[in-house]
Amino acid sequence: MRDKSFYRSIGLKCGLEIHQRLKGGKLFCSCRSTLSEEPSLEIIRKLRAVYGELGVVDRAAAFEHMRNRKFVYKYYPSESCLVECDEEPPHQVNKEALEAAITAALMLNAKVVDEIHVMRKTVIDGSNTSGFQRTMVIALDGYLEYKGEKIPIAQVCLEEEACGILEDWGDTVVYRLDRLGIPLVEVSTGLLEGYSPEEIQEIALLIGVTLRSTGKVRRGLGSTRQDLNVSISGGSRVEIKGVQELELISKVVENEVERQLSLIKLAKELKEAGVREEDFKPPMEVTELFSETKNRVIKRALKSGGVVFAAALPGLSGFASRELCPGLTLGKELAYHARAYGVGGIIHSDEDLAKLKLEDEFKKLRELLKAGSRDLIFIVAGPPDRAAEASRAVVERAKQLLNGPPEETRAANPDGTTRFTRPLPGAARMYPETDIPPMPIPREYVESIRASLPEHWEQKVKRFTEQLGLPRDLARQVVWSEYLSLFEEAVEKTRLPPTLIASTLVSTLKDIKRRDKIPVEQLPDEKIMEALLAVDGGKISKEALPDVLRELAKSPGETVQAIAARLGIKPITLEELREIISSTIQDNMEVVLEKRERALGLIMGRVMAKVKGRIDGKVVSEEVKRKLKEVLSTSRVEA
Amino acid sequence: MIEGTGFGHTPVYPRAEKLSWLPSIKRAVEESVALVMTSQALYGRTNPYVYRNARVLKQAGVVYVEDMLTEVAYVKLGWVLGHTQDPKEVESLMLTDIAGEISSRTLFNTYLI
């Protein structure tokens, strides 16, 4: 286990970018953003690279053009309009979202800018129909208190969400337009130095809680997303995108530190072994050599007009299976670079060539490439232009091994490892949005928001404990949970005990997810509220609530009433309960007369079996006791 | 009422004053004439921010009325002026959707037959 002093000693520096979706409609049009609809149409497009204002074609755009991919956009009638299709200019910035972003900025003690300038950030993967993402700086230079220190908050931005990706078949990508344009607040910290990965995760959590305490953010899968910048002394700045779960942050940081340390060590080893940059030769086409191959993957690639490229990587034989960090070998790392160019990956000489039926080919290849026994040989198969680019990318990446970890953008995998996506973009990819004029932000407006800022989360915990009577732990859990604003709404709208609401939101839902493996986080707030209101209105008992929530999570389209009816948990009246108790006692009269008061447990059990979940258990117990006493007193008289 | 081209444009070229509509528009605004911009295009929404000449027109006091049809805007302006002559109020009423004459969203299939 590596401790804090270790991370200090290697000079770990981190930067966090927290993205959080906001409630309300879209940022630049009047569509709603509920993500609840079925698509009604689809639009098919291709990207074509054109000369920019400086007279050059952007390299990344040219690359995307070469890939010649088809983009399919699913259109949702209530959740997308011509703005998402990029057929109409953006409307004015959504005032509600702007206010939410300013609120968040003020809670992070940041200074709101005098004038907002909307900017365009080039995005060429098709996830934005316009080819850019709109973003605007809202505030700068804030801080958050953490362990008595001030965590610098460099910047708070308001930006639009990109399209959601539905399918990626390599040459065709299917996107959903409904997600495009949902407002996001993006919080970027300053450089975090001298913290351990766990502490960095805690800081991310703290920012998340602060954002949620505004009451203006969305919850649920995908509503928060973290990007991390990680570097160590002797390493490089690496940006890791799309960490979906806050709990994964420390693991991602640990893995990245490990990866960079391994790469620094590897560079040293290669240099000591005398490997030089000029030893790396460009890849060559070797398709001919594989014309009789028995390997199925390559056979298939050649059949569809593909080619094979190969190159030798000097001094790297035996290194491809080395783990850079848990779950990531050097071979896999090199393959990611090939994959970025749209091929399946690479096959290299450290693999089990006999199993791959490639022994003969690789033997010949070693001669053809004039490679020595210490050199790693790899091949890439695929369409001609892609295979050429991909193999070149692998050689380039291998060459960089001599210099330690390069600056790059990586994406987080769900297991906490990361994969290469592209080199770090330059500052030039940001330019002004000319369709929206600059917006002056009057000081009185900012001050009016400051005057009615929501409570700090610590105050909320205090208030929930003192005024609502929640146990302190539960209060803290609610405040730190995604359900904070739903909790506050439910306390206001129902007469249910706050403890019941809180435990339903923070533990019952979690139990359902864990025990029944149901994606309960997809259940919208309105449906949970519907269930709570049903308990409040006596339509279902509180005992039935977990069952109802579980069924709701399975089919959120159903009403609480329908589910209650389906489960047969229609609540019963006191009269009905009394009848059931009487008949139960009647049916068990012998035992009752024999055991007298001690028959309570048995009767209670039998009655509960019939009425469970349909009426408050406390009422049942009282009624059973009362009735039993009554029966016993009359029976005594009779006896 | 001006039925402009495209997003709601008129010539405003600063150096060829003879061709520019801007001096006349400014004079009209100074004399408290309400100026409302729609588009000659059959479909779509006016927008005073994409091109510079429209920004100049808006700054001069022309009211851009979203996707209202010219004929509707003409009748509405008559109705509005029957209630108020105050330029701020005229603008605010012209931009308030009273009877479905302004739509906040243009759907992809709005113009499909």
Whole-angstrom Cα distance, residue A582 to residue A575?
Answer: 11
Residue B51: closest C-alpha in chain A = A435
Which DSSP category does A425 fall into? P
Contacts of B46 in chain A (CB under 8 A): none
Q: What angle do CA A31, A33, A35 make, to 5 degrees?
A: 125
Whole-angstrom Cα distance, residue A531 to residue A501?
Answer: 11
Q: Quick one: which of A167, A160, A152, A69 has its CA closest to A108?
A: A152
A622 has a chain B CB within 8 A of its CB: no
Q: Which CATH number covers residue B65?
A: 3.40.50.40
Range of the domain at B41: 2-94
Domain with CATH 3.30.1360.30 in chain A: 271-407
B113 found inside a domain:
no
B108 has a chain A CB within 8 A of its CB: yes
Mean pLDDT lowest among A357-371, A536-550, A559-573, B62-76: A559-573
Contacts of B55 in chain A (CB under 8 A): 437
Residue A177: closest C-alpha in chain B = B108
State which CATH number among 3.30.1360.30, 3.40.50.300, 3.40.190.10, 3.30.450.90 fits the domain covering A271-407: 3.30.1360.30
Whole-angstrom Cα distance, residue A7 to residue B30?
Answer: 69
**Torsion angle of C-alpha atoms A462, A476, A538, A573, degrees rounded to 10:** -100
CB A158 within 8 A of CB A152: no
Question: Which of A28, A32, A82, A433 is the mutation pick for testing B, counting most B CBs within 10 A?
Answer: A82
Q: What is the pLDDT of residue A582?
A: 86
CB hemisphere CA count around B16 (13 angstroms): 5
B17-50 per-position pLDDT tens digit: 788 999 999 999 999 999 999 999 988 899 999 9
Dihedral of CA B39/B41/B46/B47: which sign? negative
Q: What is the pLDDT of residue A610?
A: 80
Q: ipTM score of the complex? A: 0.92
Contacts of B51 in chain A (CB under 8 A): none
CB A508 within 8 A of CB A546: yes
Whether A209 shows a pLDDT value over 50: the answer reads: yes
A436 has a chain B CB within 8 A of its CB: yes
Following DSSP, what letter does each residue of A182-244 receive, concatenated? -EEEEEEE--EES--HHHHHHHHHHHHHHHHTTT-B--STTSEEEEEEEE-TTS--EEEEEE-
- For residues A411-433, give the mean pLDDT: 80
- For residues A612-627, give the mean pLDDT: 81
Of the pLDDT bands very low, low, confident and very high (cuts 50, 70, 90), residue A110 is very high
Q: What is the pLDDT of residue A425?
A: 60
Dihedral of CA A96/A100/A106/A109: which sign? negative
B87 found inside a domain:
yes
Question: Which of A81, A83, A130, A180 is the mutation pick for testing B, counting most B CBs within 10 A?
Answer: A81
Report the share of chain A in percent with pLDDT over 70. 97
Whether A466 shows a pLDDT value over 60: the answer reads: yes
Whether A66 shows a pLDDT value over 90: the answer reads: no
DSSP run (H or E) holding A600: helix A600-611
Domain with CATH 1.10.10 in chain A: 574-635
Q: Quick one: which of A252, A211, A226 has its CA closest to A480?
A: A211
Q: What is the pLDDT of residue A1?
A: 59
B35 found inside a domain:
yes
Question: Which of A27, A83, A88, A177 is the mutation pick for testing B, counting most B CBs within 10 A?
Answer: A88
Q: What is the pLDDT of residue A526?
A: 87
Whole-angstrom Cα distance, residue A422 to residue A430?
Answer: 17
Pairing of strands A418-423, A408-412: antiparallel
Residue A92: closest C-alpha in chain B = B49
Instruction: Find the CB nearest B107 among A77, A435, A436.
Output: A77
Q: How deeply is A161 buried, as exposed, middle or buried, from its count of CB atoms within 10 A (0-12, 13-18, 19+)?
A: buried
Q: Quick one: which of A54, A468, A14, A26 has its CA closest to A198?
A: A14
CB A277 within 8 A of CB A254: no
A320-342 per-position pLDDT tens digit: 999 999 999 999 999 999 988 87
Q: What is the pLDDT of residue A620?
A: 84
Instruction: Find the CB nearest B105 among A30, A435, A437.
Output: A30
Contacts of B104 in chain A (CB under 8 A): 30
Chain mean pLDDT for chain A = 89
A115 - beta bridge partners? Answer: A440
Q: What is the pLDDT of residue A629?
A: 84
Whole-angstrom Cα distance, residue A168 to residue A71?
Answer: 10
Q: Do A81 and B107 touch (CB under 8 A)?
A: yes
Q: What is the pLDDT of residue B29?
A: 94
Q: Do A89 and B105 touch (CB under 8 A)?
A: no
Whole-angstrom Cα distance, residue A254 to residue A235?
Answer: 14
Total of domains in chain B: 1
Q: Which residues of A62-74 are buried (b: 16+ CB within 10 A; e: fewer)?
A: ebbbebebebbbb
Between A184 and A616, where is the model more confident?
A184
Contacts of B108 in chain A (CB under 8 A): 41, 43, 75, 80-82, 85, 87
B19 has a chain A CB within 8 A of its CB: no
Q: Do A30 and B106 touch (CB under 8 A)?
A: no
Contacts of A31 in chain B (CB under 8 A): 105
State which CATH number among 3.40.50, 1.10.10, 1.20.1050, 2.60.40 fits the domain covering A574-635: 1.10.10
Residue A85: closest C-alpha in chain B = B108
Q: Do B44 and A88 touch (CB under 8 A)?
A: yes
Residue B55: closest C-alpha in chain A = A437
Mean pLDDT lowest among A177-191, A331-345, A390-404, B48-62: A331-345
A543-565 per-position pLDDT tens digit: 888 888 888 888 878 888 888 87
B80-112 per-position pLDDT tens digit: 999 999 999 999 999 999 999 999 999 988 777
Whether A398 shows a pLDDT value over 70: the answer reads: yes
Which DSSP category does A348 fall into? E
A471 has a chain B CB within 8 A of its CB: no
Contacts of A87 in chain B (CB under 8 A): 108
For A283, list phi and psi in degrees, rounded to 5.
-70, 155
Pairing of strands A164-168, A172-176: antiparallel
Q: What is the pLDDT of residue A140?
A: 97
A44 has a chain B CB within 8 A of its CB: no
- For residues A510-523, give the mean pLDDT: 83
In angstroms, the separation between the Cα of residue A121 and the nearest Cα of chain B is 18
CB atoms within 10 A of CB A265: 13
Q: Do B45 and A88 touch (CB under 8 A)?
A: yes
B12 found inside a domain:
yes
Q: Do B108 and A30 touch (CB under 8 A)?
A: no
Report the share of chain A in percent with pLDDT over 90. 57
B103 found inside a domain:
no
A291 has a chain B CB within 8 A of its CB: no
Between A233 and A600, where is the model more confident?
A233
Chains A, B: CB contacts under 8 A, how many? 36
Stated length of chain A: 639
Q: What is the pLDDT of residue B9?
A: 95
pTM, two decimals, is 0.83
Of the pLDDT bands very low, low, confident and very high (cuts 50, 70, 90), residue A639 is very low
Whether A382 shows a pLDDT value over 80: the answer reads: yes
A131-167 per-position pLDDT tens digit: 899 999 999 999 999 999 999 999 999 999 999 999 9
Instruction: Find the CB nearest B106 among A75, A81, A434.
Output: A81
- For residues A225-252, give the mean pLDDT: 92
Instruction: Find the CB nearest A435 among B50, B108, B109.
Output: B50
CB contacts under 8 A, B 45-104 vs A, are 45, 47, 49-50, 55, 104
Whether A424 shows a pLDDT value over 70: the answer reads: no
Instruction: Find the CB nearest A85 among B50, B104, B108.
Output: B108
Of the pLDDT bands very low, low, confident and very high (cuts 50, 70, 90), residue A595 is confident
